[in-house]
Amino acid sequence: MKRSDREKELSRRTISRRALLLGAVQLGFAGTLLWRLRDMQLNQSEQFRLLAEENRINLRLLPPIRGLILDRNGVILAGNEQNYRVVIKRDDAGDIDLVLSRLAQLIPLSEEDIERARRDMLRNRPFVPVTVAERLSWEEISRVAANAPALPGVTPEMGMSRAYPLREDTAHVVGYVGPVSERDLEALETPDPVLFIPRFQIGKSGVERMAEDRLRGRAGSQRVEVNSVGRVMRELDRVEGTPGANVHLTIDARLQNYALERLHGQSAAAVVMDVKNGDILALASGPSFDPNLFVRGISSTNFNELLNNDYRPLVNKTVQGMYPPGSTFKMVTALAALEAGVTNGQETVFCPGHMDVSGNRFHCWKRGGHGRVGMVAALAESCDVYFYEMSQRCGIDKINEMSTRLGLGIRYELPITSVAGGLNPTREWKRNNRNSEWRIGDTVNASIGQGFVLTTPLQLAVMTARLATNSAVLPRLVRDPLDRTEREMASLDLRPEWLRMIRQGMAQTVNDRRGTAYSSRIVADGQIMAGKTGTSQVFSITRAERESGVRRQDQLPWNRRNHGLFVNYAPYDNPRIAVSIVVEHGGGGSSAAAPIGRDITLAALNDGVPPLSAYPAPQRNRIQYEQDEMHERLRRPEDLRLSRA
Amino acid sequence: MSYLEYNTSQMPTGLRKVLYLNWPLIALLIMVASYGFVMLYSVAGGSLTPWAEPQIKRFGLGLLAMFVVAFTPLWFWRSTAGVAYGVTILLLLGVEFFGTVGMGAKRWLVIGPLRLQPSELAKITTILALAAYYDWIDIKKISHPVHVVIAAMIALVPTLLVLRQPDLGTAMLIAAGGGVVIFAAGVHWGYFAALIGSGIGLVTAVLQSRGTEWQLLKDYQYRRIDAFLDPTLDPLGAGYHINQSMIALGSGGWSGRGFMEGTQARLNFLPEKHTDFIFTTLAEEFGFVGASSLLLLYMMILAVCLLTALRTTNRFGALLVMGVIGNFFLYFAVNMAMVMGLAPVVGVPLPLVSFGGSAMLVLMIGFGLVHSAHIHRARLPS
């Protein structure tokens, strides 16, 4: 439309007015934006900078290397193994199924493994590495590395995992590690942050658990830059952690292995102790288990198998098993009587095969009786009646006192789990726990280590060491190899003439033709041992059984047979080691336990398989056969890997 | 102004037009676009691909288109405004019925090898149509309700069609461009007062309708509003983008964290860092200096264009320029307000800087129209 100039002027003026107005509004808004920009970038930039740093920087803990557990010679009992594993990243792999199927041709992978890997990969973000296989051998990992071009996204990796190279041998002592559980965390007031690292493992039993603080070390840390989805872009800085300290045990791995193998097939315990300083050289509880299974995460089948086994492989019988000591307790009764002054030891007691005490008949194990016996003979032939008599003369209080003095009924502080205290029954104990008064019959039972008395194999070894040295030997399991100071042991203050009698009785037990362990004697010069057998009754043979013809232990079912016990020290003239053996339901001390004690003693004294010459000539053929059979199972010296430290 | 009133004696012709181009505007456009190239290079981790290089090419293409539009006589644009508007509406309807869906919205129309985004086109053609309309009708009658309703319809039809896609950001820009033209033409105050009043009413209605059967917006749009009102409410959900954007922006400080050193952008904490959130990256890496200088450049573009509008007596040309800059202003203002947490997250890119082909081309055509109005301005008789 053709406009007049007036109209044009009007139009221009209107538009100009409105345009300037709009411009002003726009300028105002821009001013607001500028003000906001200034506020955020100049006034609050510190806070925002901090938030940005929080966004991008992630603190990661570097798990420390766990300290080693070594035997007295530096043999690795618990070490850290290079753990070769294969990880795969989805976003690099492309065709997951193809890569996995190729991988399965190179390393053993079950259908289950493949399925699990696939599931993990799909569940995680594509750049998260998923472990496909762990604990591969060097050959397997090399095969994967060599075929890398055909395996996109697959990387061989190396980590550290706990390994017990001697497997069963020290399972009960060293224990094992496992992943941190909720319960572990609850037990701690301020848990070490390292415990929250996924798959971090801590000691669950044995030395691994008790020395956890020393073994664990301190975590290092690493600051990394991550992107919005958590992928690590680069490392900013790193503080290395402190590796855990090594723990040196007093155990001799070779002797331990021999002891455990000597217990093979039995549910039994053996303790070998250095009588001078209390070092525990072997602490074997058979049957044992492979702690490596627990590190890997034991299957429920395997675990139930261990749990339901009658021989209780999971129990450390050396410190946890409490047994009536039987006749091995007789030294206590004898010394109690000597100290109480109720006998001089030379005086004899007549044993008709039984004794009647307040209306009850107490039998001697030898139905026909021992006739007249003095203390030495009573010990050697293990006459029960003699000790029935002595205990009545001196009373339970004296026996109790002597028992404690010799190290029984005491819970020793050792860095292993579930150390039991045994039981030294007193009048007060019975009143509190059995709700009845102590009776003379209880004393008579206690005199031969039956009734209420309970001891652990460790305590019996301590007792034997104390008898051999007349000093208050305390057991020791951990020892700093740099610490050369001799341990000072308090004297037991037992009169030498009393001890001479006890030791003579123990020597005759093994070396006298009438002794109960005569068939287990050692004939090698300078290695003669002194010991004491014990047979502790678990169940009496019932009247019904007796009538149906059961006379002997081996006719009973296994779990009703007597325990066989044996304690000894050697060499007799210059004691170095004390040994205690308990064979659960082994029948009798002289038949089941004494031969084991003898062999382990010889192994300890000879630092290896006992020489045949140490055995009496007529036995050598049989021993040779036994040794050959055992040889297969023993660990060879090259299996014992030394720590480089 | 039709070609009949064209006073050829006052108009530059042929190559002489080059001399009459709005050169300050061209310089400003190149400077702003360069900000974009630098930032796109940075967010790609120091690489020309995949963003900076295509962006440079598109800008070159945009400049070319701008010159072509600029040299075309203004009367041509006035004459074809109606047709262009009609075609745009048809294309928008085409999208409605045959459009392809992408990212939860129907925005594209595929015709043979061509992929068209008619909503971008609508930004320009709506302004053209309204400017032509007001140039056509009697100045004294512009506030007559019938004419106001017709003008409002011209702006609202494409707005509603785009809103249906749904594309809130573009719809807003179309409506605003139209609104600015209507306002600049001199329509009575009362209508705008009424509009603002009803706008407040509409916002209330939108918020009130939430969760009812006649809910006016999509759920995700409501969530964006929530996130805008309190970004910390849900830092990992809808508020995440705003939060991360504000962190990046604030951490820039006075001079920024340095070129390619912005951690928020480089580590992907920023969403859409090459498009909607490119201003955040700029503010993070170049700080207040970088961010405010870009804002200043934008304002200078506005000023230069405004001058063109003020200096022409050509009603169509002046209204056209006002529409283009109204649209342009809202473009960057909404984007900046959004990344600063002053406006809800609506998908509006930063003009000339964000990566994107169609938007760039349409903007440059818009500035071509400004040039055309500048070159072919009706000069006052001297």
In the predicted structure, residue A171 carries a pLDDT above the cut 70: yes
Whether A57 and chain B come into contact, CB under 8 Å, resolves to no
pLDDT tens for residues A277-297?
Answer: 999 999 999 899 999 988 877
Subunit contact A41:B186, Cβ cutoff 8 A: no
Q: Which residue of B248, B319, B336 is in closest CB contact with A52?
A: B248
Going from the C-alpha of A474 to that of each of A49, A338, A415, the distances in angstroms are 63, 24, 14
Q: Which two tokens stand for residue B269?
A: 């904490």
Q: How close B359 comes to chain A (CA, Å)? A: 22
Top-confidence residue, A483 or B323: B323
Nearest by CB to B337, which of A16, A33, A51?
Answer: A33
CATH of A82-159, one of 3.30.1390.10, 3.40.50.880, 3.90.800.10, 1.20.120.340: 3.30.1390.10
Q: Which residues pair with A247 in a beta bridge?
A: A69
Question: What per-residue confidence (pLDDT) applies to B168?
Answer: 83
Average pLDDT rounded to a whole number, residues A237-265: 92
**Residue A248: CB atoms within 10 Å:** 23
Number of A/B CB contacts below 8 angstroms equals: 146
Measured CA to CA, the distance from residue A347 to residue B191 in angstroms comes to 133
Cα of B352 vs its chain's centroid, Å = 10
Select from A34, A226, A227 the Cβ nearest to the Cβ of B295.
Answer: A34
In Å, how far is B256's CA from the nearest CA of chain A?
A: 9
pLDDT of residue B1: 46
Residue B382 banded pLDDT, cuts 50, 70, 90: very low
Task: Say if residue B260's pLDDT is above 50.
Answer: yes
Q: Please, what's the b/e burial string for B238-276 (b: 16 or more CB within 10 A of its CB; e: otherwise)? A: bbbbbbbbbbbbbbbbeebbeebebbbbbbebbbbbbbb
% of residues, chain A, pLDDT over 70? 97
**Mind giving me the DSSP string for A25-93?**
HHHHHHHHHHHHHHIIIIISHHHHHHHHHHHHEEEEEEPPPPPPEE-TTSBEEEEEEEEEEEEE-HHHH
Measure in Å the smallest separation between the Cα of B292 and chain A Cα atoms. Answer: 7
> What is the torsional sign of CA B50, B52, B55, B60?
negative
* Confidence check: pLDDT of B153 > 90: yes
Residues A449 and A580: their CA atoms lie apart, in Å, by 15
A14 in contact with B at a CB cutoff of 8 Å?
yes
| Per-residue pLDDT at A581 exceeds 90 | yes
Q: Which structure tokens are listed for A33?
A: 């934006």
A300 flagged as catalytic: no
Place of tokens 């009373």: A395
Q: How far apart are CA A232 and CA A223, in angstroms?
A: 10
Of the two residues A638 and A498, the one the predictor is more confident about is A498
Beta bridge partners of A179: A201
A125 touches chain B (CB under 8 A): no
B251, B298, B310 ranked by CB distance to A49: nearest: B251
pLDDT at B62 over 90: yes
Mean pLDDT, to the nearest integer, of B43-68? 91
Beta strands A69-70 and A247-248: pairing type?
Answer: parallel
DSSP A263: T
A32 touches chain B (CB under 8 A): yes
Domain assignments of chain B as residue spans, ordered by start:
3-375
CB A76 within 8 A of CB A68: yes
Bridge partner list, A282: A272
CA atoms of A89 and A151, how far apart (whole Å): 11
Residue range A342-392, pLDDT digits in tens: 999 899 999 999 999 988 899 998 888 999 999 999 999 999 999 999 999
Instruction: Report whether pLDDT(B239) > 90.
Output: no
Contact A45 B342 (CB under 8 A): no
Cβ of residue A146 closer than 8 Å to a chain B Cβ? no
C-alpha span between B248 and B231 (Å, rounded): 14
Helix runs in chain B, H state only: 23-43, 52-71, 74-98, 118-136, 145-163, 168-185, 189-208, 219-229, 240-251, 263-266, 278-311, 315-339, 357-375
Task: Give the mean pLDDT of chain A.
Answer: 89
Residue B5 predicted with pLDDT over 60: no
Is the CB of A45 less than 8 angstroms away from the CB of B184?
Answer: no
Split at pLDDT 50, 70, 90, the class of B10 is low
pLDDT, residue B380, reads 53
Determine the pLDDT at residue A575: 95
Q: Which of A126-130, A567-571, A586-590, B136-140 has the lowest mean pLDDT?
A: A126-130
Which chain A residues contact residue B269 at CB under 8 A? 52, 55-56, 227-228
Whether residue B251 and residue A29 make contact (CB cut-off 8 A), yes or no, is: no
Statement: residue A530 has pLDDT above 90 = yes
Which residues on A lie below 8 Å from B184 (Cβ)? 15, 18-19, 22
Compare all CA atoms of chain B with the CA of A14 and give the residue at the minimum distance: B186
Using an 8 Å CB-CB cutoff, list chain A residues near B302. Answer: 23, 26
Least Cα separation, residue B116 to chain A (angstroms):
31
Using the predicted structure, report yes or no on whether residue B381 has a pLDDT greater than 70: no
| Chain A, window 210-269: residues with a beta carbon less than 8 angstroms from a chain B beta carbon | 225-229, 233
Check B342 against A8: CB less than 8 A apart: no
- Among all residues of chain A, which has the CA nearest to that of B268? A228
Of B110, B106, B107, B195, the residue nearest B148 (C-alpha): B195
pLDDT greater at residue B107 or residue A591: A591
Q: Which positions in chain B touch A26 (Cβ < 8 Å)?
A: 299, 302, 329, 333
Q: What is the number of alpha carbons within 13 Å of residue B110 lying toward its C-beta?
A: 6
Question: Residues A488, A575, A588, CA angle at the centre, nearest 5°?
Answer: 120
A425 neighbors A434 (Cβ within 8 angstroms): no
Distance, CA of B172 to chain centre: 9
Q: Which two tokens stand for residue A463?
A: 């007792």
> In sequence order, what are the residues at sequence separation of 6 or more whose Cβ sits closer than 8 angstroms to the Cβ of residue A28?
none
Chain A residue numbers touching B133 (CB-CB < 8 A):
none
Q: Which of B247, B264, B340 sits opposite A36 (nearest CB)?
A: B340
Annotated catalytic residue: which of A205, A285, A288, A327? Answer: A327
The neighbouring-strand residues paired with B111 are B114
- Give B258's pLDDT tier (boundaries 50, 70, 90): confident
Calculate mean pLDDT across residues B281-299. Answer: 94
A386 close to A375: Cβ distance less than 8 angstroms: yes
Measured between CA atoms, the residue of chain B closest to residue A234 is B267
* Angstrom distance (rounded) from CA A156 to CA A142: 9
Evaluate if residue B304 carries a pLDDT over 50.
Answer: yes
Of B256, B248, B245, B336, the C-alpha closest to B290 is B256
Share of residues in chain B with pLDDT > 70 (%): 90
Question: Among the listed ranges A183-197, A212-226, B55-69, B194-208, which one has the minimum average pLDDT value?
Answer: A183-197
Residues of A in contact with B247 (CB under 8 A): 48, 51-52, 55
Question: Measuring CA to CA, which residue among B356, B366, B364, B368 is closest to residue B117?
Answer: B356
Residue of B nearest to A34 (CA): B292
Chain B residues with CB inside 8 Å of A236's CB?
A: none
Amino acid at site B126: T
> Which position has the higher pLDDT, B268 or A15?
A15
Nearest to A227 among B268, B288, B310 (CB): B268
- List the single range of A347-361, B168-182, B227-241 with lowest mean pLDDT: B227-241
Mutation target vs B (from A25, A32, A37; most B CBs, 10 A cutoff): A37
A605-626: pLDDT as tens digits: 998 889 999 999 999 999 999 9
CA angle A71, A74, A79 (to 5 degrees): 80
Which H or E element spans position A343? none
Residues of B in contact with A36 (CB under 8 A): 340, 342
B337 to chain A, closest Cα gap in Å:
7
pLDDT of residue A286: 84
Q: Is it the case that residue B254 has pLDDT exceeding 60?
A: yes
pLDDT in tens, A20-52: 999 999 999 999 999 999 999 999 989 988 888
Q: What does the pLDDT read at residue A91?
A: 77
Name the least confident of A6-15, B117-126, B199-208, B219-228: B219-228
In three-state form (DSSP H/G/I as H, E/B as E, the rest C), the secondary structure along B205-228 is HHHHCCCCCCCCCCHHHHHHHHHH
Helix B219-229 and helix B240-251, axial crossing angle in degrees, nearest 10: 40
CA-CA distance, B99 to B95, in Å (whole number)? Answer: 4
Distance CA A144, CA A150 (A): 9
Strand extents, DSSP E, A104-239:
130-136, 154-163, 177-179, 201-203, 220-226, 232-239
On whether any CB of chain B is under 8 Å from the CB of A48, the answer is: yes
Average confidence (pLDDT) over A624-632: 91
Are A15 and B251 a contacting pair at CB < 8 A? no
**CA-based nearest distance A230→chain B, Å:** 9
Model confidence at A2: pLDDT above 70: no
Nearest CB among A7, A22, A56 relative to B267 is that of A56
Q: How far apart are CA B312 and CA A543, in angstroms?
A: 131
For A636, the enclosing helix (H) or strand (E) is none
Closest to A65 in 3D by CA, of A138, A148, A161:
A161
List the one residue out of A339, A349, A342 whose CA is nearest residue A378. A349
Cβ separation B287–A41 shorter than 8 A: yes
Nearest to A19 among B248, B264, B310 (CB): B310
Which tens digit of pLDDT belongs to each residue from B111-145?
766 677 888 889 999 999 999 999 888 888 888 89
Is A501 within 8 Å of A345 (Cβ atoms)? yes
* Helix ranges, A341-456 (H): 375-380, 384-405, 427-434, 440-447
Distance of CA A43 to the CA centre of its chain: 62
- Are B78 and B127 in contact, with CB atoms under 8 Å apart? no
- Structure-block tokens of residue A471: 């000093």
Does A47 touch chain B if contact means CB atoms closer than 8 Å? yes
DSSP A233: E
pLDDT at B105: 67
**A41:B283 CB<8 A:** yes
Select the residue of A1, A11, A55 nearest B264 (Cβ to Cβ). Answer: A55
Q: Do B298 and A226 touch (CB under 8 A)?
A: no
